[in-house]
Amino acid sequence: MATTRRAHAARRKTSHRRRRVIVTVTAPDGAVLSTRGLATWLAKAAPAGAGGEVTVALISDSRMRTLNRSYRGKDYATDVLSFPASPPPAPAARRSGADYLGDIVIATGVAQRQAEQVGHAVAVELKVLALHGLLHLLGYDHERDKGEMAALESKLRKKAGLAEGLIGRRLR
């Protein structure tokens, strides 16, 4: 009887654990950027209740330009794109979702230039871009959500030690 109670308690404890984001960072273009700790940082910076796997791919500006042209019809290398594994969840359903959230793609050259422009390290810029991309994977859209994504990005970046976020920078 005691074994059964312990088993039930263990199952309840496991089912109530905080979901977590698992991040893999890849640099297929041989990028020589400081990515040390990016995966761990992004997993910790993720909103409470978010869970699933995410890949952050660092790519060349030319590859990013091709992706941006193909998927958004814009012929330039943007800084970050997000590719959800499935349609992003509605705001009320963000706590539950697919096991694989999707991919975040960051242009290394753009990240380097933006880091220089704002005066911080490339590693910091990668965090700014990765957090922004993750929020898009979770279904947030700063162009349509009346400030919801901007508010959450601000809260998370402050909690995670970033002085500035991407949305705030673009609003200047």
* CATH number of 149's domain: 3.40.390.30
30 vs 121, residue with greater confidence:
121
Q: Shortest CA distance to 126 belongs to which of 142, 106, 109? A: 106
Residue 1 has pLDDT above 60, yes or no: no
Residue 130 has pLDDT above 70, yes or no: yes
Q: Shortest CA distance to 53 belongs to which of 14, 91, 16, 26? A: 26
What average pLDDT score do residues 13-28 get? 68
- Whether the pTM exceeds 0.85: the reply is no
CA 61, CA 6: separation in Å to the nearest integer?
Answer: 54
The percentage of residues in the chain with a pLDDT greater than 90, rounded to a whole number, is 37
In a domain, 13, yes or no: no
In a domain, 172, yes or no: no
94 vs 121, residue with greater confidence:
121
Residue 50 has pLDDT above 80, yes or no: yes
In a domain, 40, yes or no: yes
The CA-atom distances, in angstroms, between 149 and each of 87, 88, 164 are: 17, 14, 14
Contact 82, 133 (CB under 8 A): yes
CA 31, CA 59: separation in Å to the nearest integer?
Answer: 7
Contact 110, 81 (CB under 8 A): no
Residue 90 has pLDDT above 90, yes or no: no
In a domain, 25, yes or no: yes
In a domain, 11, yes or no: no
In a domain, 112, yes or no: yes
Residue 153 pLDDT: 87
Total of domains in the chain: 1
Return the biggest CA–CA distance within the chain: 67
Q: Any bridge partners for residue 59, and if so which?
A: 107
In a domain, 3, yes or no: no
The percentage of residues in the chain with a pLDDT greater than 70, rounded to a whole number, is 73
CA 103, CA 52: separation in Å to the nearest integer?
Answer: 11
In a domain, 8, yes or no: no
Residue with tokens 């089912």: 15
110 vs 91, residue with greater confidence:
110
The CA-atom distances, in angstroms, between 82 and each of 69, 71, 155 are: 14, 11, 20
88 vs 16, residue with greater confidence:
88
Which range of residues forms the domain containing residue 125?
19-167
pLDDT band at 28 (very low <50, low <70, confident <90, very high): low
